[in-house]
């Protein structure tokens, strides 16, 4: 606390990111990173960019990257906005498209950055309870709103929402922007991108942090009608003209273009997820159906916090959320390599045996 803080700083409740431990020897399954490195073509492209040209500012519009993303998704470049991680893209969306006199709607159990952005930008919001299966029920969103946002698959529950339901939501809310945060979509969830040319109120965000193994590069993007994109460009150019640096642009282009590597990585993660789910269910865990690179699971004999602490004693970090209370029993586990998954299953067996 300081006399120099503005009122807004006093009031902020910032987001708490998952731990990035300084110790190397841990099995790190807490922040939904990809266990495999990025494509070798990404590393080569970044290395090639490490030249004297770094003295120059990057392209403020990231045109080459936008063209590459547009080509990949079958859209035009004016339907693409890029930013420093999808968190930054989301921040601009909240400020530029979701602040209205009616409240923004999002699930009660969801990405915990959403209420933080609302606090930062003074956006009124209402949370809508997930149903008893932890699923989004679109009928519950049938109320006056100034926008709707949810991740698909949802986080931290990992459960996907079918495309027909998203389309029904878009039809019912023609006068608000519906944002589908597809941070984890490539791990077995159907994308809403193909609805973009039909619904001018749809905005989809994606990231290179998860399926393309580039959490450290900080590149995310939004796809939607050019008028929605224009709002984001106006915010960006009033905030930071160069969110994508030269190395990030080179690496991101190479990542989007290396489709084979991306598909191979996603396949491996999905296969490991399936074997982890089987292993945990065999031990009595309830695992919610996952379309993501993480699972959300609970065991009747343990509180989630206790389980996370016991795993930590065995050098394995997973994520536990104390709130809301409904999910306190659960742990969120990022899908690691086959070998990390084996270590996790052995550690869980030991914990259950000693109970």
Ligand X SMILES: Cc1ncc(COP(=O)(O)O)c(C=O)c1O
Residues 6+ apart with CB under 8 A from 199: 167, 170, 171, 178
CB of 321 to ligand X, least distance (A): 12
Does 251 sit near ligand X (CB under 6 A)? no
Q: Which is nearer to ligand X, 35 or 279 (CB)?
A: 35
Q: Residue 206: which H helix or E strand, with range?
A: strand 202-207
x/- map, 16-55, ligand X, by CB under 6 A: ----------------x-----------------------
Q: Which is nearer to ligand X, 134 or 302 (CB)?
A: 134
CB of 208 to ligand X, least distance (A): 7
CB of 313 to ligand X, least distance (A): 25
Interface pick for ligand X out of 49, 181, 245, 258 (rule CB under 6 A): 181
CB of 205 to ligand X, least distance (A): 7
Phi and psi at residue 83, to the nearest 5°: -150, 180
Does 183 sit near ligand X (CB under 6 A)? yes
Interface pick for ligand X out of 209, 265, 329, 340 (rule CB under 6 A): 209
Q: Which is nearer to ligand X, 141 or 221 (CB)?
A: 221
Q: Which is nearer to ligand X, 86 or 191 (CB)?
A: 86
Interface pick for ligand X out of 145, 207, 293, 334 (rule CB under 6 A): 207
Does 191 sit near ligand X (CB under 6 A)? no
Q: Which of residues 75-134 bind ligand X (CB under 6 A)?
A: 85-87, 111
Interface pick for ligand X out of 147, 151, 188, 304 (rule CB under 6 A): 151
Tell me the residue ranges of DSSP E strands in 208-313. Answer: 220-224, 286-287, 294-298
CA 289 to chain centre: 17
Per-residue tokens: 159? 């459960």
CB of 212 to ligand X, least distance (A): 10
Query: The dihedral of CA 33, 38, 42, 48: what is its sign?
Result: positive
Per-residue tokens: 129? 């309870």
Choices 1-9, 67-75, 133-141, 207-215; region in contact with ligand X by CB under 6 A = 207-215
Q: What is the DSSP letter of 302?
A: B
Does 294 sit near ligand X (CB under 6 A)? no
CB of 56 to ligand X, least distance (A): 26
Alpha helices per DSSP H over 205-258: 226-236, 246-257
As a whole number of angstroms, the distance between CA 42 and CA 330 comes to 36
Report whether 157 contacts 109 (CB < 8 A).
Answer: yes
Phi and psi at residue 180, to the nearest 5°: -110, 115
Q: Which is nearer to ligand X, 28 or 299 (CB)?
A: 28
CB of 244 to ligand X, least distance (A): 12
Q: Which is nearer to ligand X, 38 or 85 (CB)?
A: 85
Q: What percent helix, strand, coil does the chain show, rounded to 5?
A: 45, 15, 45
**How many residues contact ligand X, by CB under 6 A?**
13
DSSP string, 114-172: HHHHHHHHT--EEEE---TTS---GGGG-S--SEEEEESS-TTT-----HHHHHHHHHH
Does 215 sit near ligand X (CB under 6 A)? yes
Burial class (CB in 10 A: 0-12, 13-18, 19+), 237: exposed
Q: Which is nearer to ligand X, 70 or 215 (CB)?
A: 215
Q: Residues interacting with ligand X, by CB under 6 A?
A: 32, 85-87, 111, 151, 155, 181, 183, 207, 209, 215, 220
């Amino acid at each position: 606390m300081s006399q120099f803080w503005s009122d807004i700083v006093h009031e902020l409740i910032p987001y708490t990111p998952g731990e990035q431990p300084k110790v190397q020897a841990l099995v790190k399954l807490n922040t939904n990173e990809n266990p495999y490195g990025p494509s070798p073509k990404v590393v080569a492209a970044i290395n090639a960019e490490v030249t004297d040209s770094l003295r120059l500012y990057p392209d403020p519009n990231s045109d080459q990257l936008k063209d590459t993303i547009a080509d990949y998704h079958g859209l035009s470049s004016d339907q693409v906005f890029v930013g420093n991680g999808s968190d930054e893209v989301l921040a601009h969306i909240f400020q530029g498209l979701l602040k209205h006199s009616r409240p923004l709607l999002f699930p009660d159990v969801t990405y915990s950055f959403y209420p933080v952005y609302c606090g930062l930008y003074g956006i009124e919001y209402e949370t809508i309870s997930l149903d008893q299966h932890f699923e989004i029920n679109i009928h519950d969103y049938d109320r006056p709103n100034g926008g709707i946002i949810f991740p698909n698959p949802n986080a931290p529950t990992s459960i996907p929402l079918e495309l027909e339901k998203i389309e029904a939501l878009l039809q019912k809310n023609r006068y608000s922007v519906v944002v589908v945060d597809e941070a984890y979509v490539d791990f077995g969830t159907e994308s809403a991108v193909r609805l973009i040319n039909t619904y001018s109120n749809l905005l989809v965000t994606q990231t290179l942090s998860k399926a393309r193994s580039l959490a450290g590069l900080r590149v995310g993007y939004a796809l939607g009608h050019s008028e929605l994109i224009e709002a984001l460009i106006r915010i960006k150019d009033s905030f930071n003209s160069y969110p994508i640096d030269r190395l990030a642009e080179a690496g991101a282009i190479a990542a989007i273009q290396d489709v084979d590597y991306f598909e191979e990585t996603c396949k491996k993660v999905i296969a490991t997820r399936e074997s982890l789910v089987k292993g945990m269910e065999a031990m009595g865990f309830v695992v919610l159906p996952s379309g993501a690179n993480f699972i959300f699971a609970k065991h009747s004999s343990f509180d989630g916090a206790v389980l996370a602490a016991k795993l930590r004693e065995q050098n394995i970090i997973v994520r536990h959320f104390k709130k809301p209370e409904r999910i306190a029993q659960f742990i969120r586990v990022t899908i690691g390599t086959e070998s990390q998954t084996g270590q996790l299953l052995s550690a869980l067996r030991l914990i259950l045996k000693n109970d």
